Structure 1
């Protein structure tokens, strides 16, 4: 029998669905995951390279593969068959279909991130980290989550993290701010943390474009063209 470290909310077990054209797929630049591991997960949250990690919204592996550069085991899955990891619905199939993990680290669908948080908190042995837009911190729904389960740490990315629908663009840009909302069984809530600038340049690897990038879709022709 699997023992869970966090209280579990049964209200989040409703099935979610995603359209076949991947409208909810915004890949995380690999450097952003490496920056989180280097500046937050290992030195602040106390994660260890021997820890196991679950990435339940893996897409094409843009976050799971960089996590596997550090952690001994990274299980990846997604509701949509992107060709990387198992095809599982985290909100419907958890916890029975997932092996226990020390950490659940993911970039969840924006509109399902609260459900992802509650489900992950009911499964992870050591902690949870979600990469979300900073605007996600607001609204009554998030207040209900945070008032019941206060994050141990919110890590703000000083450097903006460009995300584009359906693909990673190595030279992409954005005006959207992101942060990591983290819970740890072993740490009390602490002051916010800022991931320093310069991570994109420092942590992008020459092989990343070949591994993770793909061409942008061709523009649609106007009618009559």
Structure 2
């Protein structure tokens, strides 16, 4: 018997261990990226999907970059860890200079502030990071926001389940997430809310096939009965 499990998962998903040399890997559910594009990137940030470049520099296994490619003509992806998707490079070690029109990413939690500074230096038009709402606090974030006031913060009304090292299509969470967005030269505007119902509306039938692979479930294998002598 086989089952469809997230890329990199073992047969028993609860035993999944992230590689020791990788960084915080919490794949973004594909529907959550589509909701960001539909309600924030296109109508509010003003991204021009057919002629501007988008970069995800913490792409993992492509859970965000692939949904971005559904709406934007030019999307590049990279990660410091070789997850098997995108280029392998250290975003924080990149030379100064513009690399894309927009940078959208789900950064490692403990490096998110550094990712923001780097993104603002390398994105021509703007950047947005997907973070836990708790990330908004602390003196370090206060100093960041004083230097670079966000254009807008977009909060998900419904919960966005993220699990370390894997995407669980039916997962749940008690953690809240939001997008912190910057648009070069634009005056800050009030926060907004990404409406409920996006998980049901924007989950595609082929998402599991695209981001999962068959895995044997040995505990459920049926042993053949011995033949009569």
Q: Which runs of 4+ in 1 moved over 4 A?
A: 214-218
Q: What's the counterpart of residue 82 of structure 1? A: 83
Question: What is the aligned partner in structure 2 of residue 60 from structure 1?
Answer: 61
Q: Please, which runs of 5 or more residues in structure 1 have no aligned partner?
A: 1-17, 219-225
TM-score (norm 1): 0.84
Counterparts of residues 45-124 of structure 1 (less than 5 Å)? 45-49=45-49, 50-95=51-96, 100-124=99-123
Higher mean Cα deviation, 18-27 or 109-118? Answer: 18-27
Q: Which residue of 2 aligns with 1:41?
A: 41
Higher Rg: 2
Where does residue 210 of structure 1 map in the other structure?
A: 209
Task: Identify which of structures 1 and 2 has the higher relative contact order when contacts are C-alpha pairs closer than 8 Å and 6+ apart.
Answer: 2
User: What SS is found at the alignment partner of 1:182?
Assistant: strand
Shift of 1:75: 0.7
Pairwise CA distance, 1:24: 1.0
Q: Deviation at 1:51?
A: 1.4
Structure 2: runs of 5 or more not aligned: 1-17, 218-229
C-alpha offsets along residues 141-198 of structure 1, whole Å, 9 cap, x if unaligned? Answer: 0001000100000000001100011110000000000000000014210000000000
1:53/1:74 contact within 8 Å kept: yes
Q: CA RMSD in A?
A: 1.9
- Residue 141 of structure 2: SS of its match in structure 1? helix
* Corresponding residue number in structure 1 for 2:4: none
TM-score by length of 2: 0.82
Cα pair 1:33 1:66 within 8 Å, conserved: yes
Write the deviation string for residues 197-217 of structure 1: whole angstroms up to 9, x where unpaired.
Answer: 000000000000111135799
Q: How many residues align?
A: 199
Aligned-pair distance for 1:48?
Answer: 1.0
Does the 8 A contact of 2:23 with 2:108 survive in 1?
A: no
Structure whose residues are more often strand by fraction: 2
Q: CA deviation at 1:92?
A: 1.2
